[in-house]
Structure 1
Amino acid sequence: MVFVQVCLNGARGADDGAVVPLSPGALAEAAGAAVAAGASDVHVHPKSPCGKDTLSPRSVAATLRAVRERVAVPVGVTTGAWAEPDPAARLERIRAWTTLPDHASVNWHEEGAEALAAALLERGVGVEAGVWSGTDGAERFAASPLAPRVLRVLAEVTDPDPGSAEGTARALLDDLGSAHGRPVLLHGEEGGAWPVLRLAARLGLDMRIGLEDTMVLPDGARTSGNAELVRAALGG
């Protein structure tokens, strides 16, 4: 079975247009449509009332409850440093969550990643190890004692150039090596999203698509939403 994670919104906000779901209700609706289109897993960025990424226990709980009312697949959230730049405060936020996601992404190049991953694992939350191209994330992950315990590796290709993103992806995969035997989800962003997704399909790796990664279809036309992106990824 093809594994496709849908990334519903990312750090995008109201300036990116009404197609981007921000509120718990809008995220739930988008998740339901994407899963109906074939998504196997949901990744979401809970938002503050002003539309910014947040790790607030209240916002995380509201988002998870709403999405889970609509879908029966695993639901994960971000722990990106941009949502809470201070590592100690970020750790405190995660420890205060009252409703837990099935998994959470931890960017291995960010300060405090190891402690954050350990805290999530202690709480029974699966860890997606975000290893970004252009960072020392692969090196840090290779040396991490937590590496064998993560749910999967998110190999994140930050090269937005459609002409070079595939080469960047292959270099990142080489850096990851065996990835400690963990499943690898390979994805790109913006102009690199579709070339990298096609590479992931050819290599038999897990895939990701959604408005976080791109707002256009393979032909360059602007998408109507996450469900249409998932259908395109699955060849529909």
Structure 2
Amino acid sequence: MIQVCLNGTRDPAESGALPLSPRALAAAAAEAVAAGAADVHVHPKTPCGSDSMSPRVLDPLLGGLRGAVDVPVGVTTGAWAEPDPLRRVERVRSWSVLPDHASVNWHEEGAEELAAALLARGVGVEAGIWSGTDGARLFARSPLRPRVLRVHAEVTDRDPESAPATARALLGELGDLGGVPVLLHGEEGGAWPVLRLAARLGLDTRVGLEDVLLLPDGRPAGSNAELVEAAARLVEAAGRRRGGGGADPG
């Protein structure tokens, strides 16, 4: 499964291809799904461009996305969108239009309470486990561990040479998840090496302008859909190698 991450916390100056308005995000999501994405992750934005968990921001965005795609749509709940842990829980309880899932960064204060509030409302939880944090350790002892939709294993190492090793170490920290699916992805210089590793291991992955602005050949991506198309080719090639008995080159 390839998830598309449409925008993230990017500054519009970083890429002219970055979708900004709810209408642009809906169009970008539709293009990405047509290119092969099976899931959408988005950062709801205020008119001034800040990430937000406000229902006034979520409602029109989710309405537009649901009208454009027929795949699950998820949102961020990162601490940068609402710094107060108690306020994040209140935001979730105030939502009138619900996403299919939401990511919860397990190393952030109040993650357990936030995840519980999401689950109580029927919203799937993506457990965000970042490399270089104590997220894996905290998640290992969480009573909510069996109930999450998937684990988002996020490799924050942006070095293309070392990122795959960091990814393998993170997967090792996660250990046996008892059947909970893992989505493995990287950022910037580490995005494509980690995506290739995820494809070789048969794991879910994600790509989009939130994570990387360049195509595998180093050219600037013209859209989220272009990134998804490139990822789909890599995943398909890895699947053929696995099917043919090819070895994982590491």
- TM-score, normalised to structure 1, is 0.98
Among candidates 174, 177, 182, match of residue 179 of structure 1: 177
Equivalent position of 2:243 in the other structure = none
Mapping for residues 129-148 of structure 1, pairs under 5 Å: 129-148=127-146
Q: Secondary structure at the match of 2:80?
A: helix
Mapping for residues 69-218 of structure 1, pairs under 5 Å: 69-218=67-216
- Unaligned 5+ runs, structure 1: none
Equivalent position of 2:61 in the other structure = 63
CA distance in 2 between counterparts of 1:168 and 1:42 reads 25
Give runs of ≥4 in structure 1 deviating > 4 Å.
none
Partner amino acid for 2:114?
A: L
Q: Secondary structure at the match of 1:181?
A: coil
Partner amino acid for 2:67?
A: E
Give the C-alpha shift of residue 16 in structure 1: 1.9
Kindly indicate whether residue 225 of structure 2 is the aligned counterpart of residue 227 of structure 1: yes
Deviations 1:11-35 (A, max 9, x none): 1132223311121101000000000
Give the C-alpha shift of residue 224 in structure 1: 0.2
Partner amino acid for 1:201?
A: A
The Cα RMSD (Å) is 0.9
Identity over aligned pairs, percent = 70
Q: Is the 8 A contact 1:75 1:103 kept in 2?
A: yes
Give the C-alpha shift of residue 89 in structure 1: 1.1
Q: Is the 8 A contact 1:217 1:229 kept in 2?
A: yes
Q: Secondary structure at the match of 1:156?
A: strand
- Unaligned 5+ runs, structure 2: 235-250
Deviations 1:135-176 (A, max 9, x none): 000000000000000000000000000010000000000000
Matched residues, number: 234
Give the structure with higher Rg (CA).
Answer: 2
Q: Is the 8 A contact 2:15 2:213 kept in 1?
A: no
Partner amino acid for 1:216?
A: L
Equivalent position of 2:19 in the other structure = 21
Q: Secondary structure at the match of 1:195?
A: helix
CA distance in 2 between counterparts of 1:180 and 1:133 reads 20
Q: Is the 8 A contact 1:210 1:230 kept in 2?
A: yes
Deviations 1:88-115 (A, max 9, x none): 1111111111100000000000000000
